[in-house]
Amino acid sequence: MDLAEGKDLYVSTTTIPGAVGMTSPGTLGVAPYIADDGAMYVPAEAFEWLVGYDVTEDDTTVTIAAEK
């Protein structure tokens, strides 16, 4: 993933050896930010859109799974 703090612009490129490809740049309505502890936070939907993970949400929990 290509992320920049404060920019609502997300791009992902493949890491599969020998493969070529990337997503088109897109927005998710919220820019990534870096917290005081140094961790970068992004919308959960970034993992679904950029790497194909299954993202589900309910009232109190967000679950991100590599397999659907």
| Residues belonging to the chain | 68
Q: Where are the beta strands (DSSP E) in the chain?
A: 33-34, 40-41, 54-57, 62-65
pLDDT at 67 over 90: no
Q: 47 versus 16: which is more confidently predicted?
A: 47
Structure tokens at 65: 């799974």
Q: What phi and psi values does residue 54 have, to the nearest 5 degrees?
A: -90, 120
Region 47-58 average pLDDT? 87
**Predicted pLDDT at 62:** 93
Mean pLDDT over 40-67 rounds to 89
